[in-house]
A and B are shown apart, each in its own frame.
Chain A
Amino acid sequence: MTGSILEIRDLRVAFTGAAKPVRAVDGVDLALVPGEVVALLGESGSGKSVTLRSILRLHPENKTRIEGSIVAAGIDVMALSGAALADFRGKTVSMIFQEPMLALDPVYTLGAQITEAIRKHESGVSADAARKRALGLFERVRIPSPERRLDSYPHELSGGMRQRAMIALALACNPKVLLADEPTTALDATVQVQILLLLRELQRELDLAMIFVTHDIGVGVEVADRIAVMYAGRIVEIGAVRDVIRAPRHPYTIGLLSTRAQGGRLSGKRLPTITGSPPDLASLPPGCAFAPRCSSATSACLEAAPAAVELGHGHAVRCIHTAAVA
């Protein structure tokens, strides 16, 4: 795609530590334009986090086989190493997590961590100037009494405030792409809404491209322009939020949307379900990975992994029966 800020092509990630390689990501294509938000939706183990970590090259080199290409802001991510890779992380692409302590260091104050991040990436910024920027960031993520909070340690903050501090740190060096790995999953409902609104606002103001990983469709609908549904290491459906929510075309997406206990309408009646459970990534079937659970599956589904079928307006589905399951 021309004009994309991030472009992933045929990404394949296999972990080779065990007897049989685990094929966690199995041919992912995804491109984002500046300022665009894509929700990457999928069940546990579908490869969402592995996809995100690949973009920052966070996988252990010796036990991971990684193929395909990733280009972010014109930088060939696969070719990076050493100082260039360290500079790329945080400055071009930055990441936030479900567990803020993955990003925050318990032994330094929040202010020290943010100023350190700024000065590491931008030589020539004085300590005073960096501190001023850190204060601005804390105000921006709406941490109350920001001046005092800069001198706090991470454990001194409540869950929601820690999440805000992590966002401030991730934005410290003005990245162009933000990777968000379930940043609101562990939060309480009333706090989750606050953080979602904050992220949406910051993303717009800073024109950030964002991949937002979640297993909650409702969260995806709140933040994203497009939704990509992942199943067993592949994006099986992608499209504008409205199209995917209102007219899902992959049997897995259709199942996921109907299986939710939502509103009072289903109360006490049996829920529609998807039978079975996701496949073992160490012994994936040759065909469509969803076939064993799919009520529309035929023998043709077992032969080869389905290619993406374009349905128009960027809505694409990996299912050979797409025309039939409309």
Chain B
Amino acid sequence: MKDENASAPLLQVRGLVKHFPVKKNLLGRTTSFVSAVDGVDFDLRQGETLGVVGESGCGKSTTARLLLHLIEPTAGTIRFGGRTVGSVALPLKEFRRQVQMVFQDSYASLNPRLTVEESIVFGPMVHGIARHVAQARAHALLERVGLDPVRFAGRFTHELSGGQRQRVNIARALALQPRVLVLDEAVSALDKSVEAQVLNLLLDLKGEFGLTYLFISHDLEVVRFMADRVLVMYLGRVAELAPTEDLYTGSRHPYTSALLGSLLSMDPDRRTVAAPISGDPPNPIDPPAGCRFHTRCASAQAVCAKGAPGLAAHSREHWVACHMFDAGSGHGSAPAKAA
């Protein structure tokens, strides 16, 4: 994938692969792997919200954890502001300050023995910021995320509701004044009425602090609301990447179309009459050869079971990994190869 944008992306991901060993034989040698992420390329541009969607197990969280260097990639490179993460030019500690993460399970990601204030000042103090500065910042952030510091600073996580815990998590992530927030299903555990409050907060904070978001969610409506561009994953690979409205109104990849076709109408006179695709997603321990979607794809032809389609530009900003859109692939619907 070529970089079409003149300005260098804030975060550049190339050929990212993560295989988790899952089975060992009697000699302790690994005999099979989960290909959780299998050759993922994308750019995260300064100031944008890049949405990531796909069904459970398709590799969204693994991608996020790889981005933050919480786990080691099997292969691939990640560059931040043009510098390789983990190099002398950009030590891991400095990178971690700039890129922070908010998880779905806000309960598990907060230390139950720390008060709200203590969990927010912890990160900045590790990075050498004086306690009183960190405290002042924590109070300002609590105020900003809608939690009155007088009432909430001294509370423990089990004394908070889900929405309140998620606000604390956001405050904690912002305490290091990062440039990027990776939000992994950050609102998925919240009720709709509370989810809307947190989404509004994220929008406001983004403008105020000039943040860049990688917004992971299985909820297509929420991603449509939040994202400028959307990346669709299927079984560890990128299926499609496009500006949000292009994707939602003109998806090209059969999997994206099936995913969007599964959205419920909210209209009693337009109920779903047929499921767009049948069956469950296959097991990533032994993924289908060729295009990983071919076992469920209505447009699949012989070529789809043979070679994996690469991510190719369908139009300037719209990328698709499907043989139907790859000139000369051998798929009956593919355009002829340009001379």
* Alpha-carbon distance between A262 and B192 when the two chains are bound, in angstroms: 12
Interface size of A in residues (CB-CB distance below 8 Å): 44
Give the complex CA separation of A271 and B197 in angstroms. 8
A242 engages B268 (CB within 8 Å):
yes
Please tell me which stretch of B93-101, B149-157, B271-279, B308-316 contacts chain A, meaning at least 4 of its Cβ atoms lie within 8 angstroms of it. Answer: B271-279
Query: Contacts of B221 on A, CB cut-off 8 Å?
Result: 260-263
User: In the complex, which residue of chain B has the Cβ closest to the Cβ of A259?
Assistant: B196
- Asked if A268 is at the interface (CB within 8 A of a chain B CB), the reply is yes
CA distance A158 to B164 in the complex (A): 35
The interface size of chain B toward A, counting residues with CB under 8 Å, comes to 49
Q: CB distance B276 to A193 under 8 Å?
A: yes
Closest A residue to B49 using CB positions: A268
Which residues in window 245-273 of B have CB below 8 A to A? 245, 248-249, 258-259, 262-269, 271-272
Min CB distance, A213 to chain B, in Å? 14
B55 lies within 8 A of chain A by Cβ: yes
Whether B267 lies near A160 (C-beta < 8 A) is no
Interface residues of B in 209-223 (CB under 8 A from A): 218, 220-222
Specify which chain B residues have a CB less than 8 angstroms from the CB of A161 in the assembled complex. 280
Q: Are B55 and A188 in contact (CB under 8 A)?
A: yes
Q: Which stretch, A58-66, A83-91, A113-121, A218-226, touches the partner chain B?
A: A218-226
Distance to closest chain A CB from B268 (angstroms) = 5
Complex: how many Å from CA A274 to CA B194? Answer: 8
Give every chain B residue within 8 A of A273 (Cβ-Cβ): 193, 196-197, 200
Neighbouring A residues of B263 by C-beta, 8 Å: 189, 218
Give the chain A neighbours of B271 by CB distance below 8 A: 221-222
Chain B residues near A262: list those with CB within 8 A: 221, 266
Q: In the complex the two chains form, is A272's CB within 8 Å of B245's CB?
A: no
Q: Which residue of B lies closest to A162 (CB)?
A: B280
1/0 per residue, CB under 8 A from A, across B208-241: the answer is: 0000000000101110111000000000000000
- The digit string for A170-207, where 1 denotes a CB below 8 A from any CB of B, is 00000000000000000011111110110000000000
Assess the A189–B218 pair: CB atoms within 8 A. Answer: yes
Instruction: Return the chain A residue nearest B206 by Cβ.
Output: A268
Task: Give the residues from 182 to 205 in chain B that come closer than 8 angstroms, CB to CB, to chain A.
Answer: 191-197, 199-200, 203-204
Q: In the bound complex, how far is the Cα of B225 from the Cα of A247, in angstroms?
A: 24
A275 contacts B by Cβ under 8 Å? yes
- A160 near B279 with CB under 8 A, answer yes
The answer on a CB contact under 8 Å between B194 and A194 is no
Scan residues 153-174 of chain A and give those whose CB is less than 8 A from a CB of chain B. Answer: 158-161
CA distance in complex: A278, B193 (Å): 10
Closest-CB distance, A267 to chain B (whole angstroms): 5
Q: Are A215 and B191 in contact (CB under 8 A)?
A: yes
Interface residues of B (CB under 8 A from A): 55-56, 161-164, 191-197, 199-200, 203-204, 218, 220-222, 224-226, 244-245, 248-249, 258-259, 262-269, 271-272, 274-281, 283
18 inter-chain pairs at a CB distance below 8 angstroms, sorted by A residue, are: A189-B55, A189-B220, A190-B262, A194-B278, A197-B272, A218-B264, A218-B266, A221-B264, A221-B265, A222-B264, A259-B192, A262-B266, A267-B225, A270-B200, A271-B200, A272-B196, A273-B197, A277-B164
Given contacts A264-B249, A274-B193, 17 further A-B contacts (CB under 8 A): A44-B191, A189-B262, A190-B281, A193-B264, A193-B276, A194-B275, A196-B272, A217-B266, A218-B263, A221-B266, A242-B268, A256-B193, A260-B221, A261-B222, A264-B248, A271-B225, A277-B164
